[in-house]
Amino acid sequence: MSNSDEILEEPTPVASVRPGLPRPGRPRWIYHPALIPRRGNRFEGRGLGAAWLRLTTLFYGPSSDNLVKVGRKFRTKGLVITVAGAGNRVEIGDDVSFSGRIEVRGFGLTVKIGDRCDAKRTRIIAADAGVGIGDDCLIAAGVHIRTSDMHVIVDRAGGERVNPPRAVVVGTGVWIAGEAALLKGAGVPDGCVVGFRSVVTQVFDETDCVLAGVPARVARRGIAWTR
Ligand SMILES: CC(C)(COP(=O)(O)OP(=O)(O)OC[C@H]1O[C@@H](n2cnc3c(N)ncnc32)[C@H](O)[C@@H]1OP(=O)(O)O)[C@@H](O)C(=O)NCCC(=O)NCCS
C-alpha cells in the first residue's frame, strides 16, 4: 500500500486516556485557528474551500503544535475537523472533495488523505493511531473509519488490553461503498472495493478485490472499477 509505511511506523501511545486530554465530548475550551492562533496550532491552505475549512477547524485545549494542511482546489459541503492532543498532523492532498468529520485525539498522529479523493458524509476518528488514505479514492456516504474503540477491553486473567488502537491504511484507487466501516487495524490494498455496509477488521494483502461482508472477506478477485 502506497502510504502505509509512514502511517504504520509512527509511535502509537498505549494509553487511551492521557492526563491533560479532554474526555471525549468534554472539551474544556477550544482554540479556533482563524480567531485565536495559539500554542503552535496551525492551519495551512489557500483558496475558498480551505478558507471555509479554516472556519470549521477546532483545536481543543490544551492542545499544542498541531497542523492542519489542505492542498489546492479543496471543496466541501461541510467538513468539521477537531484536534485534541499535541504534534498531530492532518494533511489533505490536492483536488480533494471531502464532507463529514475528522476527529484526531492523541500525540504525534498523522491523518493523510491523498490527491483527488472524494468523500461525502464520512467520519474519520483517529485516536491514538493514524489514518492513511491513498490518492484517487472514492468514499461513499456514511462511511466510518476509526482507529480506536475508545473504551478499553481488558483480559480479566492477564490484565492486558485486548483491543489496542491500530492505524487504518487505505491504498490508492480504492472505492469504499456506502455505510461501510473500517475499524482499527484495517488495511485495504490498492484498487479494492469495499461493499455496502461491510466491516473491515483486518489487513488484506491482495490488490484489486471486492471485500464484502461482516466481517469483510474477499468476494471477488482481479477487478477494476470506474469512477
Ligand atoms: C461491492 C459491490 C459494488 C459489489 O458488486 P458485485 O461485484 O456485483 O458483487 P455481487 O453483488 O455479485 O456479490 C459478490 C459476492 O459478494 C457478496 N457481497 C456483495 N456485496 C456485499 C455486501 N455489501 N455485504 C455482504 N456481502 C456482499 C455477495 O453476496 C456475493 O457473494 P457470493 O459470491 O457468495 O454469492 C456491491 O455489492 C455494493 O456494495 N454496492 C453498493 C455501491 C454503493 O454503495 N454505491 C454508492 C455510490 S458511491
Q: Which residue has the higher pLDDT, 100 or 29?
A: 100
Mean pLDDT of the chain: 89
What type of residue sits at position 31? Y
Q: Do the beta carbons of residue 118 and residue 97 sit within 8 Å?
A: yes
Predicted TM-score (pTM) of the model is 0.89
Looking at the predicted structure, is the pLDDT value of residue 22 above 60?
Answer: no
Band (15; pLDDT cuts 50, 70, 90): very low
- Count CB atoms within 10 A of the CB of residue 91: 16
Q: Which pLDDT score, from 0 to 100, does residue 9 have?
A: 54
Distance 3 CA to ligand 1 centre (A): 27
Amino acid at the residue 98: F
| Cβ atoms of residues 201 and 183 within 8 Å | yes
For the chain, give every domain's residue range. Answer: 5-221
**How does residue 13 score in pLDDT terms, banded at 50, 70 and 90?**
very low
Dihedral of the alpha carbons of 160, 168, 203, 6, in degrees to the nearest 10: -100
Angle at 16 between CA 15 and CA 22, to 5 degrees: 120
**Residue 90, pLDDT above cutoff 80:** yes
**5-221 maps to CATH 2.160.10.10:** yes
Task: With a cut of 60, say whether residue 89 has pLDDT above it.
Answer: yes
At residue 142, does pLDDT exceed 60?
Answer: yes
pLDDT (0 to 100) of residue 38: 76
Question: What is the model's pLDDT at position 78?
Answer: 94
Q: How far is the CA of 137 from the centre of ligand 1 (A)?
A: 18
What pLDDT was estimated at residue 56?
Answer: 92
Q: Is 4's pLDDT higher than 70?
A: no
How much distance in Å is there from the Cα of 77 to the middle of ligand 1? 28
Which tens digit of pLDDT belongs to each residue from 55-84? 999 988 778 899 999 999 999 999 999 999
What is the mean pLDDT of the segment spanning 27-32?
66
CA of 28 to the centre of ligand 1 (A): 44
Residues with CB under 6 A from ligand 1: 140, 177-178, 193, 195-198, 210, 212-213, 219-220
Q: Give residue 11's pLDDT.
A: 44
Buried (b) or exposed (e) across 18-55, using 16+ Cβ within 10 A?
A: eeebbeeeebeeebbbeeeeeeebebebeeebbebbbe
Cis peptide upstream of residue 215 (ω within 30 degrees of 0): yes
Selection from 112, 29, 97, 27 nearest residue 67 by Cα: 112
- Residue 40 CA to residue 96 CA, distance in Å, equals 26
164 CB-near residues (< 8 Å, 6+ apart): 12, 14, 184
User: What are residue 42's DSSP bridge partners?
Assistant: 67
Residue 88, all three cell numbers: 498531530
Residue whose CB lies within 8 A of the most ligand 1 atoms, among 136, 194, 196, for a mutation test = 196
